[in-house]
Homo-oligomer: A and B are copies of this chain.
């Protein structure tokens, strides 16, 4: 049997950084996916191996299942219905399994993803030989939630082959999970995210699992569904960011200028609230789609100005802003800033060829994605 799962990436529409200081932020899934295909193999097939193939990076790893089994003193399987954090002992065992892989120095960042795979696989499926193939439309480490979508798709594929979730294997095409199963997928994905990120907020995996739009404030998530189809141009500046340093920089600025920054954060909070009101309002409404798009563009422009006043912009981000402004398109950074990705709203009927080719000529990478689509889905019997 083969099962394929796909889970979307995410963007933060408004409120990054300010959310750390109590403001509302709004995140949404984007129509760019990480795909995980899982195929159980029989011993005769492939020497009893557990194989992980990260296709985009051309890396392929394999372990004899007996080695994996030996690494986990307490058998972890049969616990698929109870998401469990990786203990210190298990983390050590996983580290030993990963150490042997000789991952090239340039790709060493993937090691934590491999560790997350080993934990999720052994916890949910135990020690069956299998081949897992991962591909992604999301750039790594650019704030588009690539690691969360990887964990969600992985958890989904693994759980789809257990009794813990109820899926209809006779169905063809992409299937969604039921509410309870989705919660289980999301919780396991969060355990994977913890291995990759240490202390993730849980927002990325939640958006990837549930899709649509989520507003979050002081740790509380609110799901939202929008009638609006919004298309975003996502420009990856390819400048790597130090998220921790950027977050710390904003906090230090707040300590130096508490009054100013409190107003800045409140302004961002109001922006997120206004955005959710627009997104939730039914279409047709007293406002036309064009009027809504113009409002959203203005909110993005204001949020970008406020992010600049927090000191988290970057020369490459400004280049994207300038370039898109020439085409009368509104943009803002998304995520941590200091590089990373920039969002540009593409109003209905925008012709994007020219702006994309100009951005690409700056060395940036462009994606066009609809936002707020479905979350994680699975597909049985798809050819990989």
Contacts and interface: CB of A to CB of B under 8 A. Distances in A.
Nearest to A325: B315
A55 interface: no
A242 B17 CA distance: 34
Interface stretch (A3-11, A138-146, A265-273): A265-273
Nearest to A260: B270
Contacts of A311: 298, 301-302
Nearest to A319: B322
A295 interface: yes
Given A318-B318, A322-B318, A326-B315, A257 B309 contact: no
B315 A318 contact: no
A322 B298 CA distance: 22
A257 B270 CA distance: 9
12 contacts: A259-B270, A260-B267, A260-B302, A261-B267, A263-B270, A302-B309, A302-B311, A304-B308, A305-B307, A305-B309, A306-B309, A315-B326
Nearest to A308: B305
- Say how many copies of this protein the assembly contains: 2
Contact of A298 (B256, B306, B325): B256
Nearest to A318: B322
Contacts of A319: 322
A305 B305 contact: yes
Contact of A257 (B259, B274, B310): B274
Given A257-B270, A259-B274, A304-B308, 15 more contacts: A257-B271, A257-B274, A257-B299, A257-B302, A259-B273, A263-B266, A264-B302, A298-B311, A302-B309, A302-B311, A303-B309, A304-B309, A306-B309, A315-B322, A315-B326
A280 interface: no
A203 interface: no
Contacts of A67: none
A271 B267 contact: no
Given A264-B267, A305-B307, A257 B298 contact: yes
Q: Which of A299, A302, A307, A319 has the most CB of B within 10 A?
A: A302
Interface in A289-341: 295, 298-299, 301-311, 315, 318-319, 321-322, 325-326
A197 interface: no
Nearest to A271: B260
Interface string A267-287: 100110110000000000000
